[in-house]
């Protein structure tokens, strides 16, 4: 098992200085790849992060009959040969993925691939729309909560599909063609919004979906669909109106920059101190986060190419409530908790999106954080310094946050199961090392069951 080993003397002891480039968003690129299924021909997705999940999605599209080529700047690889190289041969961390979609698609997404990637559920909508049927294994993914599919299923049913769960698969069949309907989501679910929009673009008639998620990754997907010939109104708002068309055409599309990776680097500067420029990061997608860091005593400046966070003293604690966009992102909550653990004062952190995110709190407590959780609230009392220890990453964001906690800890912190970090962050340890952090990848004995 792989781990990351970080050695530090605590916050501000070794400030991070320099510039970090941020590539395309994982949570967008995977959906853009799935959306390629909607048009026969070659779709090219650029600015794709070089992470394992992208290679798993490429394998899934191949399984459905597509020819997928992943190129890393100077080299092109068949998708099936790159899957085992989390950070591939790319030095930039950015890929171009070219997907040739045949007229006749397979309709079955097998468990072996789907269990490795929660986002594979996003092939459900396109497959139903294109093939009139889909059989997609129930997904696995992060250990951050129950992550239901009821809104995906109800929405597809409203659009005219017969949907059932059978032997670990979601099976959907459309007797004729999907037909437009008025839909309403109980909660602005990112995955359900994406699946339903991708189904509705090829339905007969108009679909209105209310209370949709408004994350920048959703707008990115909608913009690509519009470039493909879809008719979508209300992009960036809570109501999407989709007028179905008969067919879509393939396009080339550049993935929106990753606001969660950008936010992670903002928190890295806040936790360790220093002056870090996040180039390519869109400050306007992180308004609440950057505003909180500035109110806590950091200095934040944005320009056309990104933003810079400068922190030269211990920050003041601030409360966080996670909510769908434009609220504070749940994916950055573990970083906010880490910062609170070494800030001046007490912070209340409320997690409204994924109940199991607080598994992370137990690991942070192993590093000496003074915190208490009750349901979906956590109270964190800041201390000047944490204390290095072995800990375990349970998901992508928790893993990266534990590495940052290691920067705020005196001594050695070893984060086991670091493969989670590689699923979301291209070359994370290598980038930190370039910024002056004493961090290395280490081989660890497997954890006992």
Of the pair 11, 49, the CB lying nearest ligand UD1 is at 49
Among the listed ranges 140-148, 288-296, 385-393, 414-422, the one in contact with ligand UD1 (CB under 6 A) is 140-148
CB atoms within 10 A of CB 103: 8
Of the pair 12, 29, the CB lying nearest ligand UD1 is at 29
Q: By CB under 6 A, what part of segment 80-119 binds ligand UD1?
A: 118-119
Q: Which residues, 6 or more positions from 194, have their beta carbon under 8 angstroms from its beta carbon?
A: 31, 122, 125, 218, 221
Q: What is the largest CA-CA distance in the chain?
A: 65
Q: By CB under 6 A, what part of segment 18-57 binds ligand UD1?
A: 27, 30
Residue where the block lists tokens 């997904």: 139
Asked if 142 is an active-site residue, the reply is: yes
Of the pair 157, 177, the CB lying nearest ligand UD1 is at 157
Of the pair 231, 355, the CB lying nearest ligand UD1 is at 355
- Which residue minimizes CB distance to ligand UD1? 191
**Distance, C-alpha 174 to centroid of its chain:** 31
Q: By CB under 6 A, what part of segment 360-419 binds ligand UD1?
A: none
Nearest distance, CB of residue 442 and ligand UD1, angstroms:
27
- Number of shown-chain residues binding ligand UD1 (CB under 6 A): 22
Nearest distance, CB of residue 128 and ligand UD1, angstroms:
15
Catalytic residue among 50, 53, 142, 395: 142
Note the helical H segments in 73-185.
79-82, 111-114, 124-131, 150-158
The DSSP letter of residue 305 is T
192 near ligand UD1, rule: CB under 6 A: yes
Q: Which contiguous run of DSSP H or E holds residue 70?
A: strand 67-71
Q: Measured between alpha carbons, how far is 63 from 106 in angstroms, rounded to an integer? A: 7
Of the pair 192, 385, the CB lying nearest ligand UD1 is at 192
Among the listed ranges 188-196, 226-234, 358-366, 429-437, the one in contact with ligand UD1 (CB under 6 A) is 188-196
Q: Measured between alpha carbons, how far is 314 from 384 in angstroms, rounded to an integer? A: 8
CA distances from 440 to 342, 403, 437 (A): 23, 11, 9
Q: Measured between alpha carbons, how far is 144 from 356 in angstroms, rounded to an integer? A: 5
290 near ligand UD1, rule: CB under 6 A: no
Nearest distance, CB of residue 387 and ligand UD1, angstroms:
29
Q: By CB under 6 A, what part of segment 143-172 binds ligand UD1?
A: 145-152
Q: Which two tokens stand for residue 375?
A: 């349901």
191 near ligand UD1, rule: CB under 6 A: yes
Coil, strand, or helix at residue 216? helix
Q: Which two tokens stand for residue 52?
A: 């394992």
342 near ligand UD1, rule: CB under 6 A: no
Q: Measured between alpha carbons, how far is 143 from 76 in angstroms, rounded to an integer? A: 33
Give Rg (Cα) of the chain. 22
Among 7, 128, 190, 196, binds ligand UD1 (CB under 6 A): 190
The catalytic site residues sit at 142
Please report, as ranges, the residues that interact with ligand UD1 according to CB under 6 A.
27, 30, 118-119, 145-152, 187, 189-192, 213, 330-331, 353-354
């Amino acid at each position: 098992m792989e781990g990351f080993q970080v050695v530090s003397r605590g916050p501000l002891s070794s400030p991070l200085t320099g510039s970090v480039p941020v590539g395309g968003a994982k949570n967008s690129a995977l959906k853009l790849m799935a959306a390629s299924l909607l048009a026969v021909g070659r779709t090219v997705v650029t600015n794709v992060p070089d992470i394992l999940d992208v290679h798993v999605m490429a394998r899934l599209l191949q399984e459905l009959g597509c020819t997928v080529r992943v190129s890393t700047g100077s080299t092109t690889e068949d998708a099936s040969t790159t899957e085992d190289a989390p950070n591939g041969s790319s030095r930039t961390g950015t890929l171009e993925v070219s997907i040739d979609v045949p007229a006749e698609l397979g309709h079955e997404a097998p468990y072996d691939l789907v269990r490795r990637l929660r986002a594979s559920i996003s092939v459900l909508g396109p497959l139903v729309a294109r093939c009139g049927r889909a059989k997609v294994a129930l997904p696995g993914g992060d250990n951050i909560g129950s992550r239901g599919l009821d809104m995906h299923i109800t929405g597809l049913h409203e659009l005219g599909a017969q949907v059932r769960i059978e032997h670990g698969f979601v099976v959907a069949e459309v007797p004729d063609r999907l037909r437009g309907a008025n839909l309403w989501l109980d909660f602005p679910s990112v995955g359900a919004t994406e699946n339903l929009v991708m189904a509705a673009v090829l339905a007969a008639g108009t679909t209105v979906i209310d209370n949709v998620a408004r994350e920048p990754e959703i707008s990115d997907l909608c913009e690509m669909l519009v470039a493909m010939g879809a008719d979508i109104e209300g992009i960036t708002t809570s109501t999407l109106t989709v007028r179905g068309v008969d067919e879509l055409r393939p396009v080339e599309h550049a993935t929106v920059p990753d606001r969660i990776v950008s936010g992670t680097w903002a928190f890295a500067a806040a936790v360790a101190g220093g002056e870090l420029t996040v180039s390519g990061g869109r400050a306007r997608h992180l308004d609440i986060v950057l505003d909180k860091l500035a109110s806590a005593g950091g200095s934040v400046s944005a320009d056309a190419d990104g933003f810079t966070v400068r922190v030269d003293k211990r920050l003041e604690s601030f409360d966080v409530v996670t909510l769908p966009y434009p609220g504070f992102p749940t994916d950055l909550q573990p970083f906010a908790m880490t910062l609170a653990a070494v800030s001046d004062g007490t912070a209340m952190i409320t997690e409204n999106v994924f109940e199991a995110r607080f598994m992370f709190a137990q690991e942070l407590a192993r590093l000496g954080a003074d915190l208490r959780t009750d349901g979906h609230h956590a109270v964190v009392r800041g201390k000047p310094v944490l204390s290095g220890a072995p800990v375990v990453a349970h998901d992508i964001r928790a893993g990266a946050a534990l590495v940052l906690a290691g920067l705020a800890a005196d001594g050695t912190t070893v984060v086991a199961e670091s493969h989670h970090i590689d699923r979301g962050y291209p070359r994370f340890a290598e980038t930190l090392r370039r910024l002056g952090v004493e961090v290395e990848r280490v081989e660890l004995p497997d954890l006992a069951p």
